[in-house]
């Protein structure tokens, strides 16, 4: 099997709220290898976002270990965590989170400003390249409010890709989109995955999970199931089979 990108061991996260302690994660262990497309599923409140925040180095576990690309995240200070997020992780959010009144191109360029390994002269070309990957080159100079939800999410994916992270983390990235647009986004993810990108995709829609190779099912902060999906569907084919709204 290929190399380990991510490994968690007995991961716990507790939130102390006054007298009460909310145990959001109660000891998760799993490993994700390079080139995997993993969906994380579970009911609302099962700890998906909490897990993804920790995997994304935005939050720290209360207990347990987390290794990302061979680095023990526990040992890093705030600045190094920021660097790690910048260089190794690509985030895609449910609500897109593009900077308003800022062009798609500038939005995609933004994370590179904080990356000391990418010279400023390369930013523009790399951003255009990323926009090309998500098929939005013709919208490079549009503002977010001039783009549809699906297009905004594709800009966000371009932004996640542009620094060539080792892993892409998406939290309900299709949550705000209709089925067809969701499938388009998933199709994009599948393309990226085929080119070798490792993807962790949080969703609570089972049909989305069917497009991935592996599904981790959370329940009350524990892994209930960790299954390999032998019959991975192709999103492109799924789009074709969707009822055409114009014929309805």
Partner 1 sequence: MKIFDLLKISLKALKKSKLRTFLTMLGVIIGVAAVITMMAIGEGSKESIHTSLSGMGSNMINIMPVMNEPGSVRLQGSSMQTLKQEDADAIVNLNSPNIKGVSPIVSTSGQAINASNNWPTSLIGVSTDYLDIRQFKLKDGIVFSKEDVKSFTKVCLLGTTVVKNLFPDGQSPIGKIIRFNKIPFQVIGVLASKGQSNFGQDQDDVILAPYTTVQKRITATHYLQSIYVSAASEAQSDAATAEVKQVIRENHHLKASEDNDFDVRTQAELLSAIGSTTSMMTILLTAIAGISLFIGGIGIMNIMYTSVTERTREIGLRMSLGAKEKDILMQFLIEAVIISITGGVIGVVLGIASSKVVSIILHWPILISEMSILISFLVCGITGIFFGYYPAQKASRLDPIDALKYE
Ligand X SMILES: Nc1ncnc2c1ncn2[C@@H]1O[C@H](COP(=O)(O)OP(=O)(O)OP(=O)(O)O)[C@@H](O)[C@H]1O
Q: Which residue lies nearer to partner 1 by CB, 110 or 137?
A: 110
Sheet bearing 89-92, strands edge to edge: 89-92, 167-171, 198-202, 37-42, 214-219, 222-228
DSSP 138: G
- From residue 112, give the alpha-carbon distance in Å to each of 19, 39, 53, 93, 160: 43, 27, 21, 18, 10
Q: Is 206 a residue that touches ligand X (CB under 6 A)?
A: no
Q: Which of 48, 139, 154, 233 binds ligand X (CB under 6 A)?
A: 48
Quick note: the x/- pattern for Mg ion over 48-87, rule CB under 5 A, is -x--------------------------------------
CB proximity list for 116: less than 8 A, separation 6 or greater: none
Residue by residue, DSSP assigns 98-133 as PPTTS-HHHHHHHHHHT-TTS-HHHHHHHHHHHHHH
Contact (Cβ atoms closer than 8 angstroms) between residue 170 and residue 204: no
For partner 1, which stretch binds (CB under 8 A), given 3-11, 28-36, 37-45, 106-114? 106-114
- Given 31, 49, 95, 115, the residue binding ligand X (CB under 6 A): 49
Q: Nearest approach, Cβ of 169 to ligand X (angstroms)?
A: 13
Pairing, β 63-68 against β 37-42? unpaired
Q: Does the protein bind ligand X through residue 46 (CB under 6 A)?
A: yes
Part of the chain binding ligand X (CB under 6 A), chosen from 14-22, 30-38, 67-75, 105-113: 14-22
User: Judged by CB under 5 A, how many residues of this single chain contact Mg ion?
Assistant: 1
State the DSSP string of 14-26.
EEEETTEEEEEEE
How far is Cα 174 from Cα 137, in angstroms, rounded to an integer?
21
Q: Work out which of 71, 76, 110, 137 binds partner 1, going by CB under 8 A.
A: 110
Restricting to residues 149-178, name those near partner 1 by CB under 8 A: 159, 163
CB-wise, 48 or 159, nearer to ligand X? 48
Please state, in angstroms and rounded to a whole number, the distance separating the CA atoms of residues 71 and 79.
15
Beta carbons of 157 and 187 less than 8 angstroms apart: no
CA distance 159 to 96: 10
Quick one: 87 or 172, whose CB is closer to partner 1? 87
Judged by beta carbon distances under 5 to 8 A according to partner kind, the member of partner 1, ligand X, Mg ion, none in contact with residue 97 is partner 1
Judged by the rule CB under 8 A, the positions of this chain that interact with partner 1 are 53, 56, 58-59, 78-79, 82-83, 85-87, 91, 93, 97, 99, 101-102, 110-111, 113-116, 120, 159, 163
Judged by the rule CB under 5 A, the positions of this chain that interact with Mg ion are 49
Judged by the rule CB under 6 A, the positions of this chain that interact with ligand X are 15, 17, 22, 24, 42, 44-50, 204
């Amino acid at each position: 099997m290929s190399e380990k990108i991510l490994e968690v061991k007995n991961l716990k996260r507790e939130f102390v709220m006054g007298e009460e302690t909310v145990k959001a994660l109660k000891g998760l262990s799993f490993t994700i290898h390079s080139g995997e497309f993993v969906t994380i599923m579970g009911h609302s409140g099962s700890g998906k976002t909490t897990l993804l925040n920790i995997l994304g180095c935005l939050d720290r576990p209360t207990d347990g270990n987390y290794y990302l690309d061979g680095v023990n995240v526990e040992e890093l200070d705030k600045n190094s965590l920021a660097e790690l997020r910048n260089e190794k992780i690509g985030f895609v959010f449910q609500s897109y989170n593009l900077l308003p009144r800022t062009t798609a191109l500038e939005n995609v360029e933004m994370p590179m400003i904080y990356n000391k390994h990418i010279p400023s002269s390369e930013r523009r070309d790399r951003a255009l390249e990323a926009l090309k990957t998500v098929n939005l080159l013709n919208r490079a100079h549009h503002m977010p409010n001039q783009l549809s939800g699906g297009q905004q999410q594709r800009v966000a994916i371009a932004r996640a890709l542009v620094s060539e992270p080792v892993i892409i983390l998406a939290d309900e990235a299709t949550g705000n989109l209709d089925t067809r647009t969701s499938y388009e986004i998933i199709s994009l993810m599948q393309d990226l995955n085929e080119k070798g990108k490792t993807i962790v995709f949080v969703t609570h829609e089972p049909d989305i999970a069917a497009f991935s190779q592996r599904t981790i099912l959370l329940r009350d902060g524990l892994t209930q199931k960790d299954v390999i999906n032998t019959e991975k569907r192709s999103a492109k084919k799924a789009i074709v089979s969707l009822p055409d709204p114009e014929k309805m």
